[in-house]
């Protein structure tokens, strides 16, 4: 019944005669009247001459005597104002959208690690070509709305970084956290100090990069501590919020009297200090047996003889292509990083026959030495791969003490079970069999 009543309900149409009462059709809905004097929009039921006249008489009594030409001029003024407003709104929206696109693209450039000039040199021309070829629209206006010059990208990245840094520092000012400090040397002999923090947020463990600061002169423990202390004072973060601090084993970090840790303990007496697990692996790897240590150095010598000379590198790459090898070049071995040992050895053992063939004529002594230690290389490759798998379980944003202990206990339990079955065998053979499983 109600549906039938709604169907029978009359929908009134606007008439030009209503203009003499000061009403025009509303821009949003042509079936609703709008007063040109107060720009109030009425419902469709109010579109009656008596209702319109009543509004003009009661609300705008001083305009009752105006003729229709007056209201026509008001309607023309309103239409012009509306069209100008739409034009500015459209331009403003385009400018806002272009600015958002500029920030989002700048973030992509920063994450990719590409030069900031790539925005103006590659991204904008590529977008222009896509719009012109695929969308068939004029790309000029859109390109103007997206500033991606070298300086613009730099400003966008700095603004986003400042916002993220400010948010992080506000959290750290009211939260206890752990700190990790690492000092590295860049290719240009510049010393860079990196600081990472870990804290609990919304019942979840969070890890973030806190800052990267250049050490302008020396890298002594006091200099490192001064950089950290000045940053914390600048950001109003209390040093007492530091619960624990992880560093590498460098003397400038863990020195008893002049190391960074000694200065930190004076400022925060109850802080817990730990040795970074990555650098611990480097120390353990140095304690190989004499035979394995010699074999490892032989592998490193062979890799360096190929990688250090561009001609040898090109010749070796071509030989790998001719032999249809899986890899075409070596990975460099880095002393500090434990992962590089496993990856370097795996790659080397996969290319072992090609390496022997490469040195067969140019360096017979090294070639014979590699043939004699092939079994050692296979063993080192397997054991370091196993160590890498275990150590990867000890790192990451979601790792906690329980997960770390579980990973280590699982690895040790496998070894202990195997050792109890065959107690007379050497540890090297046990590890090898454990890996082969």
211: tokens are: 């800052």
Same domain, 325 and 366: yes
Most confident of 12-21, 40-49, 196-205: 196-205
- Looking at the fold, whether 316 and 366 belong to one and the same domain comes out as yes
Task: Please give the average per-residue pLDDT across 174-182, as a whole number.
Answer: 88
Model confidence band, residue 3 (pLDDT cutoffs 50, 70, 90): very low
Contact between residue 373 and residue 298 where contact means Cβ atoms under 8 Å apart: yes
CATH of the domain at 253: 3.30.420.40
> Is the domain of 289 the same as that of 350?
yes
State mean pLDDT over 50-65: 76
Q: Would 293 be classed as within a structural domain?
A: yes
Last residue of a domain, one of 99, 120, 153: 153
> What residues contact residue 71 under an 8 Å CB cut-off, 6+ apart?
19, 20, 22, 36
Domain boundary among 275, 301, 330: 275
What are the pLDDT digits (tens) for 63-88? 777 777 777 777 777 776 665 445 44
Token digits for 246?
């992880």
Pair 293, 387 in one domain: yes
- Give the pLDDT score at 288: 64
- The share of the chain scoring above pLDDT 90, in percent, equals 0
> Which range marks the domain in which residue 12 is found?
2-66
Rounded to an integer, the average pLDDT of 181-194 is 79
Residues 387 and 311 in one domain: yes
Q: Indicate whether 167 belongs to any domain.
A: no
pLDDT at position 433? 44
The Cβ-side half-sphere exposure at 116, using a 13 Å CA radius, reads 15
CB contact at 8 A, 235 and 213: no
pLDDT confidence of 425, banded at 50, 70, 90? Answer: very low
User: Highest mean pLDDT range out of 277-281, 317-321, 401-405, 428-432?
Assistant: 317-321
Cβ-based burial of 195 (10 A; exposed 0-12, middle 13-18, buried ≥19): buried
- Residue 303 is assigned to a structural domain of this protein: yes
Q: What is the mean pLDDT of residues 97-122?
A: 80
- Quote the crossing angle between the two packed helices 374-392 and 401-421, to the nearest 10°: 140
In a domain, residue 197? The reply is yes
Judgement on whether residues 124 and 215 belong to the same structural domain of the protein: no
Percentage of the chain exceeding pLDDT 70: 74
Q: Do 270 and 177 reside in the same domain of the chain?
A: yes
Q: Which letter does DSSP use for residue 203 in this model?
A: T
Same domain assignment for residues 222 and 184 = yes
Q: Is the pLDDT of residue 256 over 80?
A: no
Average pLDDT, the chain: 75
Residues 178 and 110 in one domain: no
pLDDT digits (tens, 9 = 90+) for 143-174: 666 777 778 777 877 777 777 788 888 888 88
198 & 216 share domain: yes
The answer to the question of residue 423 being in a domain is no
pLDDT over threshold 50, residue 2: no
Mean pLDDT for the stretch of residues 34-44: 75
Tokens representing residue 32 in the block:
């609703």
- Quote the CA–CA distance of 265 and 261 in Å, as a whole number: 6
Strand-pairing partners, residue 142, are: none
- Answer yes or no: is 375 within a domain: yes
- H/E stretch holding 174 reads none
Res 405 pLDDT > 50: yes
Number of domains in the chain: 4
Nearest to 341 by CA among 297, 310, 404: 297
**Residue 23: pLDDT over 80:** no
Check whether residue 300 and residue 217 sit in a common domain.
no
Q: Write the burial class of residue 285 (CB in 10 Å: 0-12 exposed, 13-18 middle, 19+ buried).
A: middle
Q: Which residues contact 285 (CB under 8 A, 6 or more apart)?
A: 338, 341, 384
**Average pLDDT of the residues in 324-349:** 68
In this structure, the number of other CB atoms found within 10 A of the CB of residue 352 comes to 17
pLDDT recorded at residue 291: 81
Paired tokens of 67: 């003729």
83: in domain = no
- Examine residue 335 and state whether it is found in any structural domain, yes or no: yes
pLDDT, tens only, 272-303: 888 766 555 555 555 667 788 788 888 888 88
Same domain, 135 and 178: no
Most confident of 20-24, 188-192, 363-367, 428-432: 363-367
């Amino acid at each position: 019944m109600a549906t039938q009543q709604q169907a029978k309900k009359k929908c009134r149409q606007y008439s030009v005669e209503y203009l003499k009462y000061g009403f025009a059709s509303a821009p949003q809905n042509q079936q609703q009247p709008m007063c040109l004097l107060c720009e109030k929009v009425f419902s469709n039921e109010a579109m009656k001459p008596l209702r319109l006249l009543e509004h003009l008489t009661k609300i705008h009594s001083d305009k009752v005597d105006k003729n229709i030409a007056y209201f026509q001029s008001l309607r023309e003024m309103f239409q012009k104002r509306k069209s100008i407003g739409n034009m500015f709104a459209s331009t403003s929206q385009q400018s806002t959208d272009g600015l958002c696109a500029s920030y989002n693209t700048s973030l992509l450039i920063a994450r990719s690690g590409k030069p900031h000039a790539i925005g103006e040199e590659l991204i904008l021309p590529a977008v222009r070509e896509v719009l012109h070829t695929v969308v068939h629209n004029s790309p000029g206006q859109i390109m103007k709305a997206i500033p991606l010059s070298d300086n613009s990208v730099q400003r966008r990245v700095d603004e986003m970084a400042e916002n993220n840094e400010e948010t992080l520092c506000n959290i750290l000012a009211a939260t206890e956290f752990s700190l990790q400090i690492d000092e590295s040397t860049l290719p240009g002999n510049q010393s860079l100090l990196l600081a990472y923090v870990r804290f609990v947020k919304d019942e979840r463990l969070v890890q973030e990069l806190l800052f990267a600061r250049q050490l302008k002169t020396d890298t002594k423990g006091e200099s490192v501590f001064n950089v950290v202390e000045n940053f914390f004072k600048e950001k109003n973060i209390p040093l007492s919020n530091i619960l624990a601090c992880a560093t590498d084993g460098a003397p400038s970090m863990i020195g008893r009297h002049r190391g960074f840790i000694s200065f930190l303990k004076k400022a925060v007496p109850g802080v817990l200090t730990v040795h970074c697990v990555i650098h611990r692996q480097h120390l353990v790897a140095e304690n190989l047996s004499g035979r394995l240590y010699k074999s490892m150095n032989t592998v490193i010598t062979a890799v360096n003889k190929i990688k250090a000379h561009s001609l040898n590198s090109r010749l070796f790459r071509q030989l790998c292509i001719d032999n249809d090898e899986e890899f075409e070049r070596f990975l460099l071995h880095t002393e500090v990083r434990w992962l590089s040992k496993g990856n370097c050895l795996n790659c080397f053992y996969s290319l072992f026959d090609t390496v022997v063939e490469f040195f067969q004529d140019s360096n017979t002594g090294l070639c014979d030495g590699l043939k004699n230690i092939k079994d050692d290389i296979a063993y080192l490759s397997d054991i370091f791969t196993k160590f890498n798998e275990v150590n990867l379980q000890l790192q990451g944003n979601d790792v906690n003490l329980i997960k770390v202990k579980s990973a280590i206990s699982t690895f040790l339990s496998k070894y202990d079970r195997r050792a109890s079955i065959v107690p007379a065998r050497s540890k090297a053979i046990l590890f090898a069999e454990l890996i082969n499983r």
